[in-house]
Structure 1
Amino acid sequence: MLSILIFVLVRKQKTAPLTHKQKKFSMAAKLRWLPRLLLILSAFFLVGQTAVLSSTESHQRYIKHASGVHPVVLLPGNTCSQIEVRLTDAYEPLSPLCAARKGDGRWSLLWKNNSAPDAEVPCFADQLRLVYDHAAGDYRNAPGVETRALSFGSTRGFLADNAADKELCTGKLVEALEREGYRDGETLFGAPYDFRHAPAPAGQANRELHLFRRRLRALVEYASRVNGDMPVILVSHSQGGYFALDFLRRSPLPWRRRFIKHYVMASTGAGGFVLSMQRLATSIASSSASYSSPSPADVLSMPSVGRTFASTFTALPSPVAFGEDTPLVVTRNKSYAARDMPAFLAAAGLPPYAVRLYETRALPVALNLGAPVVPVTCVNGVGVPTPEMLVYRGGHGNAPEVVYGDGDGVVNLASILALDEVIGGDPRQEYYKSVRIANMSHLGVVSDPIALQRLIGEILGAARAVDTRVM
């Protein structure tokens, strides 16, 4: 290499012929400069060699301390991420009690704060609600309220204070992964998110999801870097699947191929579920219900809170899974299919602006759900009675008669089967696998011992699989 550099630097240029005297002077000049040139090039060569050696030694130390496994990044289900709040001077409290932390600059737990006194529930409700800013075209907190997901990067931020939360919020899945040798913050990472928000169509303002995608991208890159540049296995449960799909589909394809080894999506369908209609109708019907002494755990079910979330519409049934004409809700005067969702929402009592938000913000996302173009394994429970049609004989204000079909108790089989077309049917999707565990519930997929064994097997199998994609 050094000789080549010298040759390039001292070779003759094509010029007019020189006289004998000019040739003699030119040769003498080159001979005078040659030792200096050699000295300069030698210095560059030595510096380059030193840099290469230093880089190699650093890389060897890096590999020595790497785990040798594909790290796992986990997204939990709905309500599993804890949310902290900080109140600025712009906050207008409902009462002096709600102003206790106003302007002090400190973060405190907003959800799920089971240890708080019941008297603080109205404060929690006011601070958890979202407001749609028509001027900005985006959801935001109430004025003066700042929020953030707790413990981003760690699975310890997921709710696991009691047995029910532990099962719901992937606590048992985390334990199972740790039994396989995974360690929180080293080879296992958590990506909590603000479950009040939801993906929006391209081109629409969505600050919360934009920030989440940026943080998740940095977390994936970090997890890979500290584990010897091994690509990451992304795992999600329930609502976390919508956030993961949005993240993957908005990430550049070369980045996905470099950093994502596999995506394992548990308990998520491709077309919503009927139970979400029942929950929405129930919350609207109970808008005038009396909450004489609500507990902190009840705050999300309060109509003044849950109905303001962008995620309220995320899981409503879409024609992608349920077709145009299949009746999902039947009343004395009308039946509603997936295509009739705006009419159902209006009949159920939502204000016109909320119906428009469903039509322009949530529905386009549902209709354009697609393949992430990374290797995907979908794991779902089936064989459990699941609400398939709601019959309101006495109007929306009364409890419906529920007609049950197949599914996982929450997600309908139709929505699960739609994954085969939405993801598996995309010609760009090079690897797709659907695992359906018989007689397994939505929650059981991440908590039942039999299902956990299968789910862990899929995660570890993805880690062992040879990636044959063209990088």
Structure 2
Amino acid sequence: MDTYVDCWDDLAKLKYDKQTRTTRNLPGVQTRVPGFGNTTTLEYLTPDRCQYSSYMSTMIETVFLPLGYKRGVDLRGAPYDFRKAPNEMQQYFENLREHIEEMYHETSQKVLMLSHSMGSNIAHYFLIHQTQEWKDRHIEALVSVSGAWGGAVKALQGFTTGYELEGDIFDRLKMREAEETFPSFAYMLPSSLLWGPEEAILQSGNSTFTAYTYKEFFEALNLEDGYNMYLDTRDLNQYDVAPGVFLYCITGNNVRTPEGFFFLENNFRTVLHTAMAMVTEPSTREASTYVCSGKVLRDRKFATRPTRTPSTSIS
């Protein structure tokens, strides 16, 4: 497993370009996102379909297939390079638009977009950059499952201890070497829309950081590129702009997730020494109320609810 992580770390790292304010692969590395147009790489995250890599397989097999959906016909996937933020995903958005139009023409039905976590932010960004005429013609609704509206505290791990995957089966400190180069982690940092100036999201010794002190946070980490990526992506989530389609938000309840990270020592680029404070994540709870309320939807008058089963695309 360590050999796998070392290889992944070397290949997944990105190089930040201060001139273009974008990232690129390291020399000799090419990236392909497999499975665009089908659900294969969304059901399991590894080719061997090991149980620990199961992602959307249970939902597809127990919800969509019993309803009569067929993989590759009216049930399709649109995976993307999770390392990137929307400002570097233009080709993906072009492919997504073409794919939605293809589904619409092949099934003669509007497409229901289903998104999860950061995928909800990506879907919202995509929709607000389409014309209302196009959305009225092609999109039935957007269903957001645990959308990371407003960011997530766990994004801090990409720059500190390494992001904790399910089961924590990988060496997080090794994973961090790549993760701290991903714009997506900067894009998903907790937003000041939800976390106040006095609300600590990370404490280390005598240092306290909030959603208002990211400059100091990245200076403490000596990660200049990390701060630049934050500046590049912090305004991409335009929550005050209506998506222009039906928007349904599904969130969990009483799910214990981090509110902040707390370290006994000043060096917070090591594995956590103390227990994390655990609460219901405000990003999915309060921000869903913000996004699904009139704050976003008031500019759009909606017709009746869907009366037929639409085609579904998952991102």
**Rounded Cα–Cα distance in structure 1 between residues aligned with 2:50 and 2:78:** 21
Mapped pair 1:404 → 2:278: yes
Higher relative contact order (CA 8 A, sep 6+): 2
Q: String of CA shifts for 1:105-124, please: whole Å, max 9, x gaps.
A: xxxxxxxxxxxx96565443
Deviation at 1:322, TM superposition (A): 1.5
Would the aligned equivalents of 2:118 and 2:147 in 1 still touch at CA under 8 Å? Answer: yes
Deviation at 1:276, TM superposition (A): 2.4
Deviation at 1:345, TM superposition (A): 2.7
**Rounded Cα–Cα distance in structure 1 between residues aligned with 2:275 and 2:302:** 41
State how 1:44-443 maps to structure 2 within 5 Å.
119=3, 122-160=6-44, 161-166=49-54, 169-175=55-61, 176-200=63-87, 206=88, 209-228=89-108, 230-283=109-162, 301-347=174-220, 349-358=221-230, 360-366=231-237, 370-395=241-266, 396=268, 397=270, 398-406=272-280, 412-424=281-293, 425-426=295-296, 427-430=298-301
Change (3 A) 1:405 1:429: farther
Instruction: Provide the residue aligned with 1:6 in structure 2.
Output: none
Consecutive unaligned residues in structure 2, runs of 5 or more: 164-168, 311-315
**Rounded Cα–Cα distance in structure 2 between residues aligned with 1:335 and 1:413:** 19
Q: String of CA shifts for 1:187-233, please: whole Å, max 9, x gaps.
A: 11110111111123xxxxx2xx10100110011011111112x1100
Q: String of CA shifts for 1:77-106, please: whole Å, max 9, x gaps.
A: xxxxxxxxxxxxxxxxxxxxxxxxxxxxxx
Change (3 A) 1:227 1:313: same
**Rounded Cα–Cα distance in structure 1 between residues aligned with 2:173 and 2:107:** 39
**Rounded Cα–Cα distance in structure 2 between residues aligned with 1:335 and 1:299:** 23
- Structure with higher Rg: it is 1
Change (3 A) 1:121 1:171: same
RMSD: 2.8
Change (3 A) 1:158 1:311: same
Taking structure 1 as the reference length, the TM-score comes to 0.57
**Rounded Cα–Cα distance in structure 2 between residues aligned with 1:225 and 1:300:** 47
Deviation at 1:263, TM superposition (A): 0.5
Consecutive unaligned residues in structure 1, runs of 5 or more: 1-116, 201-205, 285-294, 407-411, 433-460, 467-471
Taking structure 2 as the reference length, the TM-score comes to 0.83
Letter matched to residue 225 of structure 1? H
Would the aligned equivalents of 2:110 and 2:139 in 1 still touch at CA under 8 Å? Answer: yes
Q: String of CA shifts for 1:253-287, please: whole Å, max 9, x gaps.
A: 21111100111010113211222224532139xxx
Deviation at 1:299, TM superposition (A): 8.8
Change (3 A) 1:127 1:279: closer
Instruction: Provide the residue aligned with 1:28 in structure 2.
Output: none
How many residues in Structure 1 have an aligned counterpart in Structure 2? Answer: 294
Letter matched to residue 228 of structure 2? R
Q: String of CA shifts for 1:335-361, please: whole Å, max 9, x gaps.
A: 2221112222322x1422321221x21
